[in-house]
Structures are given as structure tokens and as C-alpha cells.
Amino acid sequence: MENTSSVKRSSNRSDILEHTLHGITETLEQALFAEEISARKGLFQSLDARVKVISVLALLIGVALSHSLLVLLAIYFLALLFAWTSAIPAGLLIKRVWLALPFFTGLIALPALFITPGPAFLHLPLLGLVITQTGLTTAAFLLLRVSTSASLTLLLILTTPWNTVLSALGVLRVPDVFILILGMTYRYIYLLLHTANDMFLSRKSRMVGRMDTSENQKMLAAISATLLDKSLNLSSEVYLAMQSRGYRGAVVTLKPFRMQPQDWLWLFIFLGITTLAIILGR
């Protein structure tokens, strides 16, 4: 029995490599899929990136300042409508938001159902708990605010290449150094994920049978150390390459932004929606 249990533990722990490889590959596929969506023809894809950044930021402010569940629900459905007109599958947006929502926001909203004072809405005699109307309203506000904000942010990210989003942040007077750090972090995390994926795949192709726990730990430690060494060397090489090409602390955009009449129109529409949401939300 002891041998059987030790074999099972060894077998379970030896699956770390497969799970890690699968996770890295899935992350890369999601990044590629997001780039594919941003290249499609749609409403948000056709707008200037600065308009999208300002509009989404304004809508997020409207969501935060609104005190009406109906208004929040209306903005959420507007986000789904904009996703549909931007060639984004509604199921993709809903899954990405609502699959993660219960694990994070739900853990915060759940206690509010019971500890918020107010008139009773539902009695749970088996658990000895009471859901209050005030607690239910508070939880609904929290869930709707988070889901709507996450949907709007995803709408921006999925319809705009990441480098373009960072360049558009200049309109908000975000420091160039901060934009540059974000852009390089995204780009080289992606590159290091590729490297890690290749390392895991090459190691897996040379494996015969299963590794025990100590071998797994040694292998993961060696891969982590190699990735850390590569990232340090890469940062030095990239900085020297940037300096040799004329970098002196300012970000230069190869594709300058140009506002079209439809960009101004949609900017005023989004700002009008935000103003209406704040007024009606009071």
C-alpha cells in the first residue's frame, strides 16, 4: 500500500511539467487571439486609439459614480453591444469576466449579504443566517460595477494592440518613462514565455518515463535560474541597442494618430453617455 501511494504521489507531482507547458501555451494562444481580434473590422477597431482610451476611462468614471442598478445594467449591455459591433464574440467577453468574477469579487460580495444591517430578505434556517435587502443591493452594486468595468477594459484591450494603447496614454499626460516600461514589460514577458515554452518542450521531448519529486524540483529550479539569467542579459542588451539607435528618454510613435470626423462624433457620444449615466445615476 505504501509503495502504491508513493507511486501515485510521484505520478501526480511529475505532471507539473505538463501542466506548466499547457499553461504557457494557453497564455501565448490568448495573446495571439487578442492580436487577431484587434485586426478585424469593427466599430472600436476603426476608432482612434486616443478616443477609445478617453471614452473607456470616461465610462469607467460614470460606472463608479452611478448609484443606480438600472444605469449600471444599461452600461453593461452597451459594452456587450459595442463588443458585438466590434466583431468580438459575446461569449468570449462574458466568459472572461464572469468566470473570474466569483473567485475574486464574489468572495468580497458574499459576506455583505449577511453582515450588512437592514430588513430581512431571505431566511436560511439551516445555516442560521439572514440575507438582508441592503446586503443584497450592496452585493449587486459591487458585482455589476466590477463586471461592467472589466467588460469595458477588455473591450479596449481586445480591439487595440497593446503598443497602440500605450502610445495613446500620452494624451492623458502619462510620463514617457512609465509608458516605455509598460511596453517593454509586455513585449519581453511575451518573449520569455516563448523561451520558457521552448525549454519545457525540449525537456519533455528528452524525458523517458516519469521523474520523481527531487528531479522535478531540480529541473524547475534550473529552468527558473536560466530564465532569470536570460532576462538580465536581455535587459542590458536591449538598453544598449536602444541607445545605439538614438534613444534619449523620449518615446517616438512610428504611426502618428490622426483624428477623423467619426472619431470626434464617437468621442462626443461616449462623453454624452457618461454624463447621462452620472445624472441618471444620482
Residues 280 and 153 in one domain: yes
Residues 106 and 201 in one domain: no
In a domain, 35, yes or no: no
In a domain, 27, yes or no: no
**What pLDDT, in 10s, does the model give residues 210-264?**
666 677 777 777 777 877 787 778 777 777 777 787 766 666 666 667 788 888 9
Distance (Å, rounded) from C-alpha 79 to C-alpha 159?
13
Residues 278 and 246 in one domain: no
Tell me what the mean pLDDT of segment 114-136 comes to.
Answer: 73
Please give the angle made by the CA atoms of 77, 79 and 83, to the nearest 5 degrees.
115
In a domain, 125, yes or no: yes
Residues 165 and 261 in one domain: yes
Give the three cell numbers for residue 277. 449615466
In a domain, 240, yes or no: yes
- Number of separate domains in the chain: 2
Residues 161 and 206 in one domain: no
Question: What's the first-to-final CA gap in the chain, in angstroms?
Answer: 67
Grade residue 268 by pLDDT with cuts at 50, 70 and 90.
very high
Residues 157 and 189 in one domain: no
Q: Are 44 and 84 in contact (CB under 8 A)?
A: no
pLDDT of residue 245: 74
Q: Range with the lowest mean pLDDT among 9-23, 41-55, 138-152, 220-234?
A: 9-23
Residues 101 and 191 in one domain: no
Residues 156 and 219 in one domain: no
Range of the domain at 87: 40-172+257-282
